[in-house]
Structure 1
Amino acid sequence: MDSSRIRRLLAEEIAASTARNPRSRDAYGRAQHLFGRVPMTWMNKNAGAFPLYLESARGARVQDIDGHEYIDFCLGDTGAMAGHSPAPVAEAVDLRFREKGGATAMLPTEDAEWVGAELTRRFGLPRWSFSLTATDANRWAIRLARAVTDRPKILVNSYSYHGSVDESLIVVGPDGRSTSRPGNVGAPCDVTLTSRAAEFNDLDGLERELAHGDVAAVLMEPALTNIGIVLPEPGYLEGVRELTRRHGTLLINDETHTFSAGPGGCTRAWGLDPDILTIGKAIGGGIPSGAYGLSQQLADRLLDRADLDLVDMGGVGGTLAGNALSVAAMRATLEHVLTDEAFARMCALSERFEDGVRKGIESYGLPWSVSRLGARTEYRFAAPAPRTGTESAACADADLEDFLHLWMANRGVLMTPFHNMALMCPDTTEADVDTHTALFAQALAALAG
């Protein structure tokens, strides 16, 4: 594509966005007491000159403070996979917080056992503990893995996403060796002291790293997500499980984003058998929630260790983790919203979305690809689809991404700002999907001239 044309079209969309969103522009300009002018600096990852400001959200719709309504395919980058403020969750939260009270009483509730049993039904692991975020679930899983293996290092896939876990900010460098991920902020130490990295879909590279004998656990997404969907090749995940067992290394599946694959994530859909599973975001229906599950053998090993302080200051847990409000939200979400039936509808809509994008790409003969993981679809500016995280990172095009995101937003559709991701929720409709398909075709026509 003509890069100068892309930049010109992007400038036109930035100007249109600025003109149509004066209240968001002014709110951003007045934000003098926030670091980076936003509640979290990642909110500056937007295609326009300023972020849109939220007024309200329900189901698959978002309204900004300038009065514009959007079809929301971003859905909180998975956090709102259940849709915005689903009624069963709102009712459960209201009952727990306003009528019953005691959200942070530091006492367990009976809801917790229900949630644990449901997570076991969905994912297979029999023992569960709760956190407020998937990042914390990953941190605590890592500590437990180090404790039982007495090994110092964690292995992750290059350009995988596990929140802000220090050990995960490592990639495979151009020379094939592990190195700090570009942009890593204030690392407490050289990340190669705590971690190793291997490319996704590279069993030889994984085996080389595990052969050092110092890896406590492989922390991985069953499919890469936050760098664009990278799907596992046939036999890869089975090979990972065999290699980890052979080398005495635990396997942690991070299903926070790959939960989109179905009601039990990739673990259930693909028959995986991890030692630990971590998840967050979506299971709370918009209320901060996270969890990690343990195999029976691993849970027994940990509880039999009298030297591990799992109750007080051992470094696993937090005062608000497992609080009554979050647990009530998790139960309502899993019991009434993100049901098996809901996932079937969401995945069908995502397939419709995928078909629409693919037809647009094929009609212009573009060297792009589209990949789907259940209710989640993404397109990349490369064909065939990237098979590793490094390949996927290399095919990014900031101007082209920004143009497509702003083109959609200026016409009432929100995509995830970090990448070209669209997620379906129980309230998404076929008409919503078809609106994106039409706008995507129009965007490609504009790019083609």
Structure 2
Amino acid sequence: MDAVTCQYCGARSLIDRGRKPTTAPIPQGMHVVRVVPPSSGAAPFIVLGAVTSMMVAGGVAGFLLMRAPATSAAGAGARPLLGSGPRTYFGDRPMLADVNGDGATDVIGKSSIPAGEEWIAAYDGRDGKPIWKTAVLTKDATSHEARRAVVAGRVISIDGLGKAQAYDLRTGSPSWSVSLGEKAKRVCQGNGVIVVETVDEVKHGLEPATGARRQLAKDAACKPVPSSNADEAPGYKLVGWSEFDELGLPSLHEIEGMTAHDALVPSGPGPRFLLGRRSKGSQVKMVAAVDKKKVLWKDVVPGVDPLTTKVMGSDEAAYEGGLLVVPYDMNDSKEGTRLACFDGGTGKRLWDVQVHKKSQVSSGISTSANDVFYATWTAVYVFSLKTGQLRYVIGTEF
């Protein structure tokens, strides 16, 4: 590689192996990473310099990994070194749909390799094996302003400049593209039409087969679809406390012993779930189920010693078939992240499992009728919704 890109912040750095001196100016915004030339016989290493300073200043613990050959000096039969195989990352909220028509829920999302190339890929929901992947995405299609969704037999990717690219759900092949003229806010399902709501609050109707524009009524329906947006999914949406009054929910401090910051609101009948913190004593993540203003049950989220867990961070949750799944992090980063599952009607804790002992960066959580898909920085862990048993992993962790 002559240049590398940080998978978290997007910063680019030039690689200097000391092959030959150069007087060419360093491009603006880039840094130089110097590595030992391969011919020196020394163990590979990296001097991060300005890159490290920039990433630490941003609060990001980042690193670049240079690998030695896959076999040691003991000979060809030696055990391969850890991490010597190819690495593929998954860095998206898992979007769920039956891609190959076998009746099982498959996984779609943005994937990448350490070198920085990114694409959208589909994975078999039975074992996590790849089904298809698109061509490499442009930089604008991978920015934080980009949106992705699965709707009407298409995978829709909208870049940060408002260009929508459609891919066939079955094959991943490109179908059509259209420019919206504004950045996208969300993608949803209308009456036989794909609806894209842009940041100027305009709804754009697109024909699923061709991308042709469709005129929409001002009050056109817009049902949630599997998407990269963390605040909604088919069957529920996540809202902040400022919307509680409008939805008839208890206010921020109304529940005894709890401060509620967010709520998961299912689209059908049944309880609503408030997510927040314990208001007295040590701060601990809490969850409560309510019927309008009436509290049905409440509990701390952690199924381990609550004082060993983190409180800070976003309030994520997913809901399917009457079961509520809530992630939480441990204080010790080496203890990673856990998932707790509650019976939505009774509050009974059904299971509480460790996801991993890796990074505590979340890309999102989704649920199907049978499984929980929890995406970390670079991988998706798939658990049984009923038992919490780990089934398989898509991608590899740092």
The TM-score, its normalising length taken from structure 1, stands at 0.25
Structure richer in strand, relative to its length: 2
Q: Larger Cα Rg: Structure 1 or Structure 2?
A: 2
The TM-score, its normalising length taken from structure 2, stands at 0.27
User: Could you say which structure has the greater relative contact order, defined with CA pairs below 8 angstroms and 6 or more residues apart?
Assistant: 1
